[in-house]
Chain A
Amino acid sequence: MHEYTDRLAGRLVAVNAELEQEFEARLVESSTLAFRIAFSVLRHRQDAEEVAQEAFVKAYRRFSQLRDRDRFRAWLVRMTWRLAIDRQRSDRRRVAREHDQEAAPSPTAADELIARERAEHLWKAIDALPEKLRVVIVLANMEEHDVADVARLLSLPPGTVKSRLFLARQRLKEQLQWTQ
């Protein structure tokens, strides 16, 4: 009996170690993705990191069901997006600030000003999109995702993703006249 329990305990320790190694690999490869998704909603680095961290902790608790890579990333994307939206709704004051602080640094003050202005207009236009169009256009412009990747991440048919991308681009162009 003791021998059996010892063997069982040894096997469980090995399984735990294996799970932790797998999760570490997922964490490294998906941390930027989760952060950027949260950032696209919150536009605040610290908030985005907190939301991404929360999503990873939730993913860790359920990792035995999320060992498949595609499944893990799809779950992480949806969870991060949902947590970020919840955070945004619970703290509207943050949305009003920091729109342009995270834009890429520009070499000169004039360039920086223009970039900030562009980013501000862009984010306003993205924020004005319906949520289902917003998540598609954001994911499509992240980590070289193509239509199939976005469809897999959101569990949507590729045709639906294509049509939503088209609609999102059209609406953004209508609002962002300066890109024409």
Chain B
Amino acid sequence: MDPIDGEIRRALAVDPSPEFLARVRTHIASEPVPGRRFPWMVVAPAVFAMALLAIVLIVRRTSAPAPALLTARFPVGAVGTMPAVESVYARHARDAGTRFEELAAPKAEGRRREPEVLIAADEAKALRQLILGVREGRIDLARVLEATPITAAEPAPLDNIAIPPITITPLAGEQGVRQ
């Protein structure tokens, strides 16, 4: 053994006091038991289950169909005043309404991936009422169309263009004379 090591061992040959262990035990007795993990064993799975449930609910809510529109709640067939023969305007209005509904309530998959189409609430309401009115026969668009008849613009009659005859006046003086 190296003499240095011998010296160090002698210097380190110091033992703790007899009360040392008792003091450590007393101190540790006031500590919470390290293995007492009962609350965590119960709380952790509960928190995990709640988080999982919340995620499932959020996913289901986002993938659920959009709430029914006013037009869907009042089916056209249920209205007694509907004319027996569907007018052309009503058909146009219905098609427009269908397109409008597609715009106003896009499919859930599309809604998640594409930006939402924003339509002013009052404009949407007015448009819905117009479409419903046309479908139910309360509004007749024929008068509106008649009031502003669409006519093809006819060109105004043109006068004949008068082209004066071309006259060539001879040059004054002698011609072909070299100077």
Contacts and interface: CB of A to CB of B under 8 A. Distances in A.
Contacts of B37: 12, 64
B153 to A, nearest CB: 86
Contacts of B24: 27, 31, 52-53, 56-57
A168 to B, nearest CB: 9
Majority secondary structure of chain B interface residues (helix, strand, loop or mixed):
helix
B159 interface: no
B20 A141 contact: no
Contacts of A49: 16-17, 20, 23
Which residue, B5, B7, B27, B38, has most C-beta atoms of chain A within 10 A?
A: B7
A81 interface: no
Contacts of B25: 27
B35 A15 contact: yes
A179 B9 contact: no
Interface string B133-175: 0000000000000000000000000000000000000000000
Interface size class of A (residues with CB under 8 A): 35 or more
A16 B12 contact: no
Contacts of A123: 11
B34 A28 contact: no
A142 interface: yes
Interface of A: 8-9, 12, 15-16, 18-20, 23, 27-28, 31-32, 35-36, 39-40, 45, 48-49, 52-53, 56-57, 60-64, 102-104, 118-119, 122-123, 126, 137-138, 140-142, 169, 172-173, 176, 179
Closest 10 pairs (CB-CB, A-B): A35-B16, A141-B8, A19-B35, A16-B35, A63-B34, A141-B9, A16-B33, A53-B24, A172-B4, A15-B35
Interface of B: 2-5, 7-17, 20-21, 23-25, 27-28, 31, 33-38, 41
